[in-house]
Amino acid sequence: MIFPCIDLMGGKVVQLVQGRTKALEAESPDAMLRLFAAFPEIQVIDLDAAMGSGENAALVEAIAAKAVCRVGGGVRTAVRARRLLDLGAHRVIVGTSAFTGDGINAPLLADIAAAVTPDRVIIALDSRDGRIVVKGWTEATSFTAEDVVSQLEPYCSGFLCTYVDKEGTMQGTDLDWFRRLRAATSHEITAAGGVASLDEVKALQAMQVHVALGMAIYTGRIALADLAALLSPVVKS
């Protein structure tokens, strides 16, 4: 599966470099949905909610009413997870709150899984310099995605794995990291961060890894028509 991304900030569709610097503003969400019509599911991240600086609930609801979406941003409670599903999300993405300083936040993840079922939960594993990073990628933990991925399996149906070192730079991603993650779990994996060519997309698909794409399609580096031609279900190994 290939997931085009819609990242929301201040009521607009944006793309950031490494979660910090705004690189571009795109067309309206409706315009982007028309461009992404060939794709069965899209990824929506409310960056304001993720950063604790507001939210874009009305936009999330409007998008989710028109397309199948996996939605993340500020999912810190079971109530928030349930609310996103009520707004129309197909699945919710849990990031920072999935972790503590020492490892996984099992009590919270159990609460979220109980509220929405593990099938509706994706856990974000964002990695920079080899370590999981949290709080909008501003704080590094002491552990790696490979350290915790098996412990997280009971609480979710898949993982969104972002190679933050190259996020938004279109300099290519770390295929070896995704190979290690693929070997570490039987759950669904979605790769993000730095993917900049059709060859990389094909390499990830060959690993049985999904791909979430933002900057590469917003800048035209990878053509939507070429991506649509690759659409086919990815079966977990």
Tell how far CA 166 is from the center of its chain: 15
User: Rounded to an integer, what distance in angstroms lies between the CA atom of residue 29 and that of residue 44?
Assistant: 10
* Residue 177 lies inside a defined structural domain of this protein: yes
Domain that holds residue 143: 2-228
User: Rounded to an integer, what distance in angstroms lies between the CA atom of residue 95 and that of residue 230?
Assistant: 28
* Residue 237 lies inside a defined structural domain of this protein: no
* Residue 235 lies inside a defined structural domain of this protein: no
Using one digit for the tens of pLDDT, what is the confidence trace for 115-156? Answer: 999 999 999 999 988 888 887 777 888 899 999 999 999 999
Q: What one-character-per-residue DSSP string does 60-118 give?
A: HHHHHTTS-EEEES---SHHHHHHHHHHT-SEEEE-GGGB-SSSB-HHHHHHHHHHH-G
Q: How many CB atoms lie within 10 A of CB 221?
A: 14
Token digits of residue 124: 């974000």
Q: First CA to last CA across the chain, in angstroms?
A: 14
* Residue 160 lies inside a defined structural domain of this protein: yes
**Domains contained in the chain, number:** 1
Per the CB < 8 A criterion, the answer to whether 104 and 151 are in contact is: yes
Tell how far CA 68 is from the center of its chain: 14
Position 52 confidence tier, pLDDT thresholds 50, 70, 90:
confident
Predicted pLDDT of residue 237: 39
Q: What is the pTM of this model?
A: 0.92
Q: Is the pLDDT of residue 181 over 80?
A: yes
Residues 225/176/148/110 CA torsion (nearest 10 deg): 10
* Residue 233 lies inside a defined structural domain of this protein: no
Using one digit for the tens of pLDDT, what is the confidence trace for 220-229? Answer: 999 999 999 9
* Residue 221 lies inside a defined structural domain of this protein: yes
* Residue 234 lies inside a defined structural domain of this protein: no
Task: Give the residue numbers marked as catalytic.
Answer: 7, 126
**SS3 call for 49:** helix
* Residue 105 lies inside a defined structural domain of this protein: yes
Position 85 confidence tier, pLDDT thresholds 50, 70, 90:
very high
Per the CB < 8 A criterion, the answer to whether 193 and 167 are in contact is: yes
93: CATH: 3.20.20.70
